[in-house]
């Protein structure tokens, strides 16, 4: 019974909980049974609170329904403050840090009835120094970063949803590597209060689930948009296929998935046409990196100046590079980003959404790092809503995803079309099974 329950998607579990066909205690116990079975292999968590979670679940079972997330267990990336658990931001500097308040996104989830199971591994301050987490599809490989533990916990059926954040590619890439759905909303659509800042013009709160409707359930709460509870799309979408200017770095499995998706969606009735990034936007990846480095050097000034010896060489390099960029240069970079954003926004006069690679290919080996965010940097820079859709498999038997990008502030249509697109891709590739059943589990 426990094994079956912990594999329930968020929406299915929510319906069972609301109809009282399932108790929150049963679901939380099932999730902890899975965690206890697999955590020594996957290393997704920095802190767990089994008894507190069970106590909270029991209170929920004995009372009225709290909201759309009533009784659903969740993981929280250890970049988000939690009043009842330590928050270390992936750094030894904060080994003893215990915030007094929840981050806004955590508070919104709890207020809607979610049960916080524990904190998930993040890379150091959501940058590049990897943690211990392994990919549940094959433990020799990375789950990606920086939201490593959140992606792995959902992919391994430890929880149906986990909070993540993205400043470069920290939701989309781990979701692609782990074979799950990851959603980065429009920049600013979810409050960032209580989330350790890395780059104030880029940091975005989102999360991971096993289907588009599942992730939309949580987005409806965090974005305070009840329309997301009922995704519906009736037409045939206009889809722009964007290889991006990093196409030369795409591996064969990504190129094949991209071509397969274009053909499948065209057969399903979508209008599909290639759309290139303008030549003047050839430096977007570097532009994003410079903006991120400058803002990180400001956000982490205390850590850089007072605790440099406790920072990894990787983050020291980023902060030192950012410290060399002047405020005047940063203002120019922001203006260039806005010019590029305006050019890309014009695409949505012709297309409803854009489809692009989520990552270069399958996950790399764990000892090689967490992968490269190059295929997400531009979309994060533009502040657009992005959705990883898993549907293909690479030569190592690992997942390959594509990301669907929507118009800024049109997260509902992005998710609704995303659900339609994912349904067509899964039907063509693996009939009658869900995305979470496409790859082996431990």
Reading phi first (left if > 0) and then psi (alpha if -120 to 50, else beta), residue 160 is in alpha
Residue 329, token pair as written in the block? 């240069």
- The position carrying tokens 């059926």 is 157
* Spatial separation of the C-alpha atoms in residues 134 and 99, rounded to whole Å: 28
147 vs 50, 77, 368, CA distance in Å? 22, 7, 17
DSSP state at residue 439: S
Active site residues: 77, 146, 170
Is residue 386 classed as helix, strand or coil in its secondary structure? strand
Task: Quote the CA–CA distance of 7 and 211 in Å, as a whole number.
Answer: 12
Stated length of the chain: 442
Strands (E), 348-438: 353-357, 386-393, 399-405
Burial class from Cβ neighbours inside 10 Å (0-12, 13-18, 19+) for residue 440 reads exposed
Burial of 268 (0-12, 13-18, 19+ CB in 10 A): middle
The enclosing H or E element of 302 equals helix 301-306
How many angstroms separate the CA atoms of 31 and 35, rounded? 6
Q: Which residues contact 284 (CB under 8 A, 6 or more apart)?
A: 245, 277, 340, 377, 378, 381
DSSP secondary structure code for residue 354 in this structure: E
What is the spatial distance between Cα 316 and Cα 414, in angstroms, rounded to a whole number?
37
How far apart CA 234 and CA 290 sit, in angstroms, is 41
């Amino acid at each position: 019974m426990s094994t079956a329950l912990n594999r329930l998607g968020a929406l299915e579990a929510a319906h069972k909980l609301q109809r009282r066909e399932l108790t929150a205690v049963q679901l939380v116990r099932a999730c902890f049974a899975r965690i206890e079975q697999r955590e020594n292999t996957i290393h997704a968590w920095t802190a767990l609170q089994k008894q507190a979670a069970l106590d909270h679940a029991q209170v929920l079972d004995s009372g009225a329904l709290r909201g759309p997330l009533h009784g659903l267990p969740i993981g929280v990336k250890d970049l988000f403050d939690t009043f009842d658990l330590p928050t270390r931001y992936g750094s030894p500097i904060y080994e003893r840090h215990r915030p007094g308040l929840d981050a806004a996104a955590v508070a919104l989830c709890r207020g809607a009835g979610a049960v916080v199971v524990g904190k998930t591994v993040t890379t150091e301050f959501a940058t590049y120094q990897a943690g211990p987490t392994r990919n549940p599809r094959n433990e020799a490989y990375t789950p990606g970063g920086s939201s490593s533990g959140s992606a792995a916990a959902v992919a391994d059926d430890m929880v149906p949803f986990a909070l993540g954040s993205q400043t470069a590619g920290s939701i989309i890439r781990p979701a692609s590597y782990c074979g799950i759905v990851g959603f980065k909303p429009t920049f600013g659509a979810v409050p960032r209060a209580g989330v350790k800042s890395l780059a104030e013009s880029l940091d975005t709160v989102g999360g991971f689930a096993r289907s588009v409707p599942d992730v939309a359930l949580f987005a409806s709460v965090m974005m305070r948009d009840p329309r997301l509870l009922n995704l519906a799309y009736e037409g045939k979408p206009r889809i722009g296929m964007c290889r991006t200017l990093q196409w030369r770095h795409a591996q064969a499995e990504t190129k094949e998935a991209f071509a397969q998706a274009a053909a499948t969606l065209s057969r399903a009735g979508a209008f599909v046409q290639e759309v290139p990034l303008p030549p003047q936007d050839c430096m977007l990846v570097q532009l994003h990196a410079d903006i991120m480095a400058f803002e990180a050097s400001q956000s982490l000034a205390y850590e850089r100046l007072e605790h440099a010896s406790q920072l990894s060489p990787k983050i020291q390099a980023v902060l030192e590079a950012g410290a060399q960029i002047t405020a005047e240069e940063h203002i120019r970079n922001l203006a260039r980003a806005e010019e590029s954003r305006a050019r890309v926004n014009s695409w949505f006069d012709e297309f409803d959404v854009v489809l692009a690679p989520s990552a270069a290919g399958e996950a790399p080996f764990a000892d090689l790092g967490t992968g490269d965010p190059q295929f997400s940097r531009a979309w994060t820079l533009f502040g657009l809503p992005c959705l990883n859709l898993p549907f293909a498999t690479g030569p190592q038997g690992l997942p390959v995803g594509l990301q669907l990008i929507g118009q800024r502030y049109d997260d509902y249509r992005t998710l609704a079309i995303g659900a339609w697109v994912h349904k067509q891709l899964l039907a063509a590739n693996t009939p009658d099974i869900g995305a979470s059943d496409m790859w082996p589990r431990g």
